[in-house]
Amino acid sequence: MKCLVVIAHPLQDSLCVSLARLVVDALTADGHEVETESLYADGFQPALSADERSSYYAASGYDGTEVDAQLARLSAAEALVLVFPTWWFGFPAMLKGWFDRVWAPGHAYRHASDLSAIEPALHGLRRTIAITTLGSPWWVDWLWLRRPVRRVLARALLGACAPRCRLDMLSLYRAERVERGRLERFERRILARLRALR
């Protein structure tokens, strides 16, 4: 499969970046075609520009000249792997900016002619695996907040832009105090999901 791995952590010695290396190595070993975007390391600019926003509804289409490469990689992806920390029960600003600028009209979706519900455009995207680390225990995410990051991914992003895409969400809780055995079990879960990509 054509796999796009998007990494969103500012520290290159972080657990997230280590997990991303595991992902890339496993996908490559399994013969997948792998593209990576390490948003911090690549210097991605997350802020949606005035020109980009004003072109959202323009007859000429979205002005994505600054993110052409990212648009092309997302459009070509059959599998998307997101590796990121969950901060304040949301996406890091860098990853949110990637969604704002790259999941754009004419690429990830199309506006309906009467400005009603948007129409999906990521028809080739079949699998998304979101791998995230959290400082909190599992029950805060599941019971108190009802998994907000997963809901946004499943309903807002994939639900609108790639409704036939299957989402797997792998969350490592209490990541600041993770024991070696628990981390190894989490890594095995990641590898099992990656092996299931077809």
Note the pLDDT of residue 198: 81
Give exposure, 28-40, as e/b (b: 16+ Cβ within 10 Å).
Answer: eeeebebbbbbbb
Reported as a pLDDT band with limits 50, 70 and 90, residue 142 is confident
- Which comes out higher in pLDDT, residue 146 or 122? 122
CA 104, distance to chain mean position in Å, is 14
- pLDDT > 90? residue 115: no
- Output DSSP code: residue 65: G
State which H helix or E strand residue 110 sits in: strand 109-110
- pLDDT > 90? residue 123: yes
Mean pLDDT throughout 96-111? Answer: 96
Note the pLDDT of residue 74: 98
Contacts of 151 (CB under 8 A, 6+ apart): none
State which H helix or E strand residue 133 sits in: strand 127-133
CA neighbor of 166 nearest in space, from 71, 75, 107, 79: 79
Note the pLDDT of residue 116: 78
The bridge status of strand 2-7 relative to strand 33-38 is parallel
Query: What CATH number is given to the structural domain containing 12?
Result: 3.40.50.360
User: What token pair was written down for 55?
Assistant: 């072109």
Note the pLDDT of residue 112: 83
CA neighbor of 120 nearest in space, from 129, 108, 112, 135: 108
Q: What is the span of the domain harbouring residue 107? A: 2-195
- pLDDT > 80? residue 131: yes
- pLDDT > 90? residue 113: no
Reported as a pLDDT band with limits 50, 70 and 90, residue 139 is confident
Note the pLDDT of residue 144: 87
pLDDT digits (tens, 9 = 90+) for 41-92: 999 999 999 999 999 988 889 999 999 999 999 999 999 999 999 999 999 9
Query: Residue type at 20?
Result: A
- pLDDT > 80? residue 152: yes
Number of domains comprising the chain: 1
